[in-house]
Structure 1
Amino acid sequence: MTINTTAHPTRDTLDIPYRHVTTHFIDGTYQPSHGQDIIEVTDPATNTVWGSVPVGNQDDVDAAVEAAHAAFTTGPWADTTPTQRAETLLRIADEIEARTKELSLTNSLENGSPVAETSGAAANAASIFRYFATLAPELEADDVRPFPNGQGDSLVRKDPIGVCALIAPWNFPINLMVTKLAPALLAGCTVVMKPASPTPLSFRIIVDAMTAAGVPAGVVNLVTGPGLMGDLMVRHPKVAKVAFTGSTPVGRHIAAACGELLRPVTLELGGKSSAIVLEDADLEEMSARLIRSCMRNTGQTCYISTRILAPASRYEEVVAMVTETIAGALQGDPLDPATVFGPSANLSQYHSVLDHLASAKEEGAQVSTGGGTAQLDGELTDGLYIQPTVLADVTPEMRVAREEIFGPVITILKYSDIDEAISLANNTEFGLGGVVFGADQEKALEVADAVDTGSVGINFFASNHSAPFGGRNDSGLGVEYGPEGLTAYLSYKSIHRR
């Protein structure tokens, strides 16, 4: 393991707009919380508290939802056209990009994601807003469908669904909220948003950008608090749609509530994806794309392929390449641009990853690099660092081969033929991502088609804003991105005519 010892910025002098706040953003202004408790925000690189936000209550949720409902039904947002809303989205994108540095620093202090990752958050969020702005013509064009018998036609209207509750996780707190927010706004909806408890501050910067872009009061509202706040939002009688990204157990809870209420819901949940290495794979090319595809954001990414399936004939070769690649990447201060691997995002996740590593060793997996806690110097001494780890000789029944670890851990399994590789890839409750590494593109495509997952890449993995992204099985319901992601925020009406 390579540790980055480069000098890092002094955290208490960083130019960030929010630290200790006592308000929620409701009806166009920051309003004092009705709740009296606070959530402390901890920098996982130093394990020290640097900020705090209020814990809201039912009164705060009611105020936010009522503001959103008023903006949807009687406010100026209700009278806008899709083209006008698209113009607003474009202004939001510009305002977000103007806040790139403060977004990156705040995000990194919240969850320990390296600035090499978070420095792209503003540009990516802006590109999502700009993409959905291009879909405005689809909402404005007349959709007339003739009766099959020729006796009239139907005019299909695409109406906004209403007030949307948007709940985002802590690993990518900016972009995983924006993937919901942008289509909701283009559709004409209004929203109440709740970020995850460990990362409640960075999205305030996005709210400031939207205000500067001229989004009317009540259209976007932001409340903070624990999971109970999410429950209050999901069950509020004036919420018409729920979108959630997070763990599968919480997703099941939200799905049960929405099923009871007959409330539309989009869920993007956990994953346990596989990278299938074919016999003809170029391991040098795979090495160049390994961390982005299989260990992005210190392994705290839902779709990454943390299970590598290697052919028996090249198994030792693959283990050596993966070990060398992971061991050679720098671990250190997230605020240093050279850092590749940062800390675990929070104490709970830190202990969860260590527990998975202990189980792997007990069950017979071999550690080829890493395998435990990492000790860094200076103010990082108490940081939540775990060594980037490669586990070889992993078998399908091991816990680390079945459960989502969500940390800097890669497992490598062996297969004898391609049918076994596909079977191993599909032998999971999840179905979110995946990669096929191989020189023969046609063969790689055949394998990709056989993997039961919502998205799969060939020799790399990346999300495409214009293509649907979603999970199968325990990885979720519905999709985000693309025109398909927009439809989740629409309600359809057919007007029949002769």
Structure 2
Amino acid sequence: MSATDARPATGRTASTRPEPRWTHVDDLYADGAWTRSTAAARLPLVDPATGQEWGSVPDCSADDVDAALSAADRAFRTGPWPRTTPSQRAALLLRIADEVEARAADTALTNTLENGSPISETRGAAANAAGILRHVAGLASWLEDEDVRPFPAGGAETVVRRDPVGPCVLIAPWNFPINLMVVKLAPALLAGCTVVMKPAPGTSLSIRFVVEACEAAGVPPGVVNLVTGGGEVGDRLVRHPLTAKVAFTGSTPVGRRIAAACGELLRPVTLELGGKSSAIVLPDADLEQMSAALIRTCLRNTGQTCYISTRILAPSERYEEVVDMVTRTVEAAPQGDPFDERTVFGPMASRAQYEVVRDHLDSAHAEGARATVGGRPADTERGWFIEPTVFADVTPGMRIAREEVFGPVVSVLRYDDIDEAVALANDTSFGLGGVVFSADREAAQAVAERMDTGSVGVNFFGSNHNAPFGGRHDSGLGVEYGIEGLSQYVTFKSIHRRTG
């Protein structure tokens, strides 16, 4: 089935949609209980495949934010959580992992209704989140092992302690609302911190399954708290006097504002922001192998993934061959109802994102890019669908080659030699992901070493829970995953003592 064949209306209406566990709620989670919000304002949740509102959450008030952070602060200062051992906290993380997995089906259904991610994508969210929790639990020894360092001149030594930083504000985006929250939650909890979570407005219900899992696992009151709301709520959380640290995943413009606030307040912050990554196709690349990895590497989640390589850099001598392969691969991937098991490309997550992508398509056409497939909004009766698009004859100065699109759009640029390919890959204000395709792994490794970015894959791209993931330049500050990600939630203390 071609993308064009798969593009008619979804056939799903408000009356035929799956029924989620929650729809319209009026509460936040603070101090171990669901509490009615004092806010009058509400935020709608809209199914991107139909454009129909199906749920709503409170746009939490200043009093709600105070209640959540006060609970987190009390639990940190006077509660048992920071005073338990890392091994004890790790055991609880393992119980949370089991409880998250037990809610996999409900989580996937709600997530797909919220942001339109294909069910084949969201069905794995709970298992991946559980994997993160279990891996982080295995890092407890890093916090427990004695770290004693001698003075170089002798006669004394220093005991290095890794203390929890305090109440943390965790803000996650709408594209992967479960995993991009859990990758913050797991290390914060293991370190002994308490947290207040704020999901993106449009994906504010699926995260309740994680809160429910924490409660079922026995997390003490006040350790995990949840508020919902828009940018004003996020700003209150970031600037609140009880906040000790902020972790944010989202757009670079919002990240800059958070960084400025945290800099003013001398507050530690981790930022995972946007990207404009490149896939360098070396002259010897196996294009069939590349085709098999293309969608996940360059267009995952309907192009709504921060690290994907949406700029494909092809050697001049194989340029048309690469364009043909990319076009055929994208054209063959079905677009449609995200609840259809066959769907690869769903809708944009919101009308606002749909308009952003439309604007980028118009810009690409106006600047002379050639659409080999797609290149326009999909012809559907409802929902926010953009045709999966491949642009050829793209030059480095075009807007489509420089700005993050966050939609089902890839551009193919040409290069004449490896030095030019590396220069093109590095000619961006971002530095998050990247990939090199080649039949020669050593040659690919050598090119990867030259790319100015936080992560690079050879013939595939994936996130390793055991290795740091983070961006350079406009793609962020700090890292997530691995020991390095755990270290973002501790503050170091040195205790000096004589040895004689």
| TM-score strictly above 0.5 | yes
Once the two structures are overlaid, the 10-residue window that deviates more, 12-21 or 160-169, is 12-21
- Do the aligned partners of 1:146 and 1:152 also contact (CA within 8 Å) in 2? yes
Question: Residues 384-439 of structure 1: CA distance to partner in whole angstroms, max 9, x if unpaired?
Answer: 00100000000000000000000000000000000000000000000000000000
1:213 correspondence with 2:194: no
Which secondary structure does the structure 2 equivalent of 1:251 belong to? Answer: helix
Task: Name which of 189, 192, 206 aligns with 1:188.
Answer: 192
Give the superposition deviation at 1:186. Answer: 0.2
Which secondary structure does the structure 1 equivalent of 2:225 belong to? Answer: strand
AA partner of residue 338 (structure 2): P
Which secondary structure does the structure 2 equivalent of 1:425 belong to? Answer: helix
Aligned CA distance change for structure 1 residues 447 and 169 (closer, same or farther; 3 Å)? same
Task: Name which of 236, 241, 251 aligns with 2:245.
Answer: 241
Task: Measure the CA separation in 1 of the matches of 2:173 and 2:331.
Answer: 28
Residue 268 of structure 1 is matched in structure 2 by: 272
Task: Measure the CA separation in 2 of the matches of 1:373 and 1:47.
Answer: 15
Give the superposition deviation at 1:484. Answer: 0.2
Give the superposition deviation at 1:11. Answer: 6.0
Task: Measure the CA separation in 2 of the matches of 1:277 and 1:8.
Answer: 40
Residue 395 of structure 1 is matched in structure 2 by: 395
Give the superposition deviation at 1:165. Answer: 0.4
Aligned CA distance change for structure 1 residues 64 and 12 (closer, same or farther; 3 Å)? farther
Aligned CA distance change for structure 1 residues 11 and 462 (closer, same or farther; 3 Å)? farther
Task: Name which of 349, 360, 363 aligns with 2:367.
Answer: 363
Task: Measure the CA separation in 2 of the matches of 1:37 and 1:279.
Answer: 56
Residue 159 of structure 1 is matched in structure 2 by: 163
Give the superposition deviation at 1:198. Answer: 1.1
Task: Name which of 116, 135, 141 aligns with 2:120.
Answer: 116
Task: Measure the CA separation in 2 of the matches of 1:365 and 1:285.
Answer: 26
- Do the aligned partners of 1:160 and 1:490 also contact (CA within 8 Å) in 2? yes
Once the two structures are overlaid, the 10-residue window that deviates more, 11-20 or 117-126, is 11-20
Give the superposition deviation at 1:123. Answer: 0.3
Residue 458 of structure 2 is matched in structure 1 by: 458
Give the superposition deviation at 1:9. Answer: 9.3
Which secondary structure does the structure 1 equivalent of 2:300 belong to? Answer: coil
- The 5-angstrom pairing of residues 20-39 of structure 1 reads 20-39=24-43
Give the superposition deviation at 1:79. Answer: 2.4
Residue 226 of structure 2 is matched in structure 1 by: 222
Task: Name which of 334, 352, 372 aligns with 1:348.
Answer: 352
Give the superposition deviation at 1:12. Answer: 5.4
Residue 422 of structure 1 is matched in structure 2 by: 422
AA partner of residue 440 (structure 2): D
Task: Measure the CA separation in 1 of the matches of 2:98 and 2:440.
Answer: 41
1:475 correspondence with 2:475: yes
AA partner of residue 462 (structure 1): G
Task: Measure the CA separation in 1 of the matches of 2:42 and 2:424.
Answer: 45
Residue 319 of structure 1 is matched in structure 2 by: 323
Task: Measure the CA separation in 2 of the matches of 1:11 and 1:306.
Answer: 37
- Do the aligned partners of 2:99 and 2:216 also contact (CA within 8 Å) in 1? yes
Residue 61 of structure 1 is matched in structure 2 by: 65
Give the superposition deviation at 1:57. Answer: 1.4
Give the superposition deviation at 1:78. Answer: 2.9
Give the superposition deviation at 1:223. Answer: 0.3
- Do the aligned partners of 1:366 and 1:392 also contact (CA within 8 Å) in 2? yes
- Do the aligned partners of 1:146 and 1:153 also contact (CA within 8 Å) in 2? yes
Task: Measure the CA separation in 1 of the matches of 2:92 and 2:384.
Answer: 40
Give the superposition deviation at 1:146. Answer: 0.6
AA partner of residue 401 (structure 1): A
Question: Residues 297-353 of structure 1: CA distance to partner in whole angstroms, max 9, x if unpaired?
Answer: 000000000000000000000000000000000001001111000000001100000
Task: Measure the CA separation in 2 of the matches of 1:229 and 1:12.
Answer: 34
Aligned CA distance change for structure 1 residues 121 and 55 (closer, same or farther; 3 Å)? same
Task: Measure the CA separation in 1 of the matches of 2:13 and 2:497.
Answer: 67
Question: Residues 217-256 of structure 1: CA distance to partner in whole angstroms, max 9, x if unpaired?
Answer: 1101100111111110011111100000000000000000
Task: Measure the CA separation in 1 of the matches of 2:341 and 2:235.
Answer: 38
Question: Residues 251-301 of structure 1: CA distance to partner in whole angstroms, max 9, x if unpaired?
Answer: 000000000000000000000000000000000000000000000000000
Q: Give me the CA root mean square deviation.
A: 1.2
Residue 6 of structure 2 is matched in structure 1 by: 3
- Do the aligned partners of 1:4 and 1:339 also contact (CA within 8 Å) in 2? no
Give the superposition deviation at 1:14. Answer: 2.7
AA partner of residue 51 (structure 1): G
Which secondary structure does the structure 1 equivalent of 2:233 belong to? Answer: helix
Which secondary structure does the structure 1 equivalent of 2:203 belong to? Answer: coil
Task: Measure the CA separation in 2 of the matches of 1:89 and 1:312.
Answer: 51
Task: Measure the CA separation in 2 of the matches of 1:304 and 1:453.
Answer: 12
- The 5-angstrom pairing of residues 137-152 of structure 1 reads 137-152=141-156
- Do the aligned partners of 2:14 and 2:52 also contact (CA within 8 Å) in 1? no
Question: Residues 464-484 of structure 1: CA distance to partner in whole angstroms, max 9, x if unpaired?
Answer: 000000000000000000000
Which secondary structure does the structure 2 equivalent of 1:267 belong to? Answer: strand
Give the superposition deviation at 1:15. Answer: 4.2
How high is the TM-score relative to the length of structure 1? 0.98
Q: In structure 1, list runs of 5 or more residues that go unmatched.
A: none
AA partner of residue 461 (structure 2): F
Question: Residues 172-217 of structure 1: CA distance to partner in whole angstroms, max 9, x if unpaired?
Answer: 0000011100000000000001000111110011100110010111
Task: Measure the CA separation in 1 of the matches of 2:472 and 2:83.
Answer: 37
1:136 correspondence with 2:149: no
Q: Count how many residue pairs are aligned between Structure 1 and Structure 2.
A: 494
Which secondary structure does the structure 2 equivalent of 1:198 belong to? Answer: helix
AA partner of residue 335 (structure 2): Q
Task: Measure the CA separation in 1 of the matches of 2:118 and 2:15.
Answer: 14
